[in-house]
Each structure stands twice: as structure tokens, then as C-alpha cells.
């Protein structure tokens, strides 16, 4: 999305870049670039969240566009930039002293207020959350809706002597017998290997 709200797709085809203009989003919805606060791809559709809570979609071929719904979000969250996941669920970073809250929307979508959150990454049916204090949580998205605890939780402070452990980026890579989670702070990049315990105990994992 450029400064004029023109959405373009950049794709690698046969070792060269291919540009395609998807739609002039600003002209279609009469909004400026500061009115757009989130964008997310899910099942070949692009979901765009506006600061008034409207969610719009554009399919990846650029043939269909439209408004999906309006999220019911407390007004003071709308000034922040959310992380979108699922189809049009959203998670907002709030101050650490605030409370964790889930606001249920229509069609099993949710809006989450998450204290101290600095980064979020969706990977399949999992949601990775990174925090200002270096904590990393990995949720099943369905369990997050049920307010169940994360599948995995750990903190960078357990592995680093650095005083700065604020998570500024997360990524994940699927390997043959494990998942490799990468977490970046302002000064370092950490790699965590998450393996299946059964495979490890049966010597079926690569070193």
C-alpha cells in the first residue's frame, strides 16, 4: 500500500519481479493512508482494517472488493496499530498495567487487548506473541478464544545477559523434525528449536 492508498502486488516470476496494481483503495473508500491501520492475507483474500473498525477485503486476483463487517472495538484502541490474524480478528497492544481482554465479534472473530505486546505472528493455526519484557507465548488460535493458556511460554531473559529483551520481530521456519522460532531484539537475534518430544526420545531427530 503506497502513500496514495494504491495497493500493489509484488511477485517473483521466473527470477524477475512482477508488479500488479490491485486496486485504488483510497479512491474506493475515500480515506487517507493514516485511516488504514491493518492489513492481512488469509486464504487468498486481503483483509484491511480501518481506524473506524470497518474491515474490507480484496481477493488476490483483484476481482472482488467489499466491506466484510465493522469490528466492535473500544474507541481508545483505534489509535494504535493492531496485528490481524485469522480472517478479521485483531490483537491490540495496550499498556502493561492494563488488563488482558477479549471482545467477541460475529462469526467467531475476536478482538484482543494484550498488555505489553510488541510483536505478533500467525503461523497456520498458531499465534506467536512477543512482549516488551522478552516473554514469548505460542497459542493455538482456537484456545486463545477460549482463554486457555499458551501451548509454550518462555522468556529471553533466561537465555541472555542483555538488559534489552524487548521483542521487535518474530519469525518461524518449519524444519524436517522441528520448528525454528527466531526472535529479534534491538541488539540480538535468538533461535529456539521446538521439537516433538516423542521423536527426540526415540532418537528420530536430527542433531
Closest CA to 58 of 109, 21, 111, 105: 21
Rounded CA separation 88/99 (Å): 22
- Please check whether residue 183 lies inside any domain of the structure: no
The answer to whether position 127 is within a domain reads no
Range of the domain at 61: 1-86
Q: Which residue has the cell 466492535?
A: 72
- Within-domain flag for 191: no
168: Cα separation from own chain's centroid: 13
State the total domains in the chain: 1
Strand order in the sheet with 89-94: 83-85, 89-94, 110-115, 101-104
Q: Would you write out the chain's pLDDT as a tens digit for each of its 207 residues?
A: 777 777 777 888 777 777 777 777 666 666 665 678 888 888 778 888 888 888 888 877 766 778 888 888 887 777 777 899 988 899 999 888 889 999 998 878 899 999 999 999 999 889 999 999 999 999 999 999 888 999 999 998 888 777 778 999 999 998 888 889 999 999 899 999 988 653 434 343 333
Q: Is residue 189 part of a domain?
A: no
Q: Cell triple for residue 166?
A: 524487548
Question: Is 49 a domain residue?
Answer: yes
Rounded Cα–Cα distance for residues 28 and 36 (Å):
13
pLDDT at 135: 94
Quick check: is 182 in a domain? no
Write down the pLDDT at residue 113.
93
Please tell me the predicted confidence (pLDDT) of residue 27. 65
| Bridge partners, residue 170, by sequence | 183
E-assigned strand segments in 95-206: 101-104, 110-115, 117-123, 126-131, 135-140, 152-155, 169-174, 178-184, 189-195
Query: Quick check: is 198 in a domain?
Result: no
The answer to whether residue 12 is domain-embedded is yes
Amino acid at each position: 500500500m503506497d502513500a496514495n492508498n494504491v495497493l500493489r502486488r509484488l511477485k517473483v516470476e521466473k527470477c524477475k519481479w512482477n508488479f500488479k496494481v490491485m486496486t485504488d483503495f483510497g479512491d474506493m473508500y475515500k480515506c487517507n493512508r493514516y485511516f488504514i491501520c491493518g492489513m492481512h492475507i488469509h486464504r487468498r483474500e486481503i483483509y484491511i482494517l480501518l481506524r473506524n473498525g470497518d474491515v474490507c477485503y480484496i481477493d488476490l486476483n483483484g476481482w472482488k472488493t467489499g466491506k466484510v463487517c465493522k469490528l466492535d472495538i473500544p474507541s481508545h484502541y483505534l489509535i494504535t496499530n493492531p496485528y490481524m490474524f485469522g480472517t478479521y480478528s485483531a490483537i491490540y497492544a495496550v499498556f502493561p498495567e492494563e488488563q488482558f481482554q477479549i471482545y467477541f465479534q460475529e462469526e467467531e472473530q475476536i478482538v484482543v487487548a494484550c498488555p505489553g505486546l510488541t510483536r505478533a505472528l500467525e503461523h497456520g493455526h498458531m499465534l506467536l506473541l512477543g512482549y516488551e519484557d522478552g516473554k514469548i507465548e505460542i497459542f493455538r488460535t482456537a484456545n486463545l478464544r477460549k482463554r486457555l493458556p499458551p501451548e509454550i511460554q518462555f522468556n529471553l531473559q533466561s537465555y541472555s545477559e542483555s538488559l534489552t529483551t524487548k521483542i521487535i520481530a518474530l519469525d518461524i521456519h518449519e524444519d524436517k523434525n522441528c520448528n525454528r522460532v527466531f526472535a529479534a531484539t534491538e541488539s540480538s537475534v535468538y533461535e529456539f528449536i521446538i521439537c516433538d518430544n516423542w521423536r527426540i526420545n526415540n532418537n528420530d531427530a536430527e542433531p
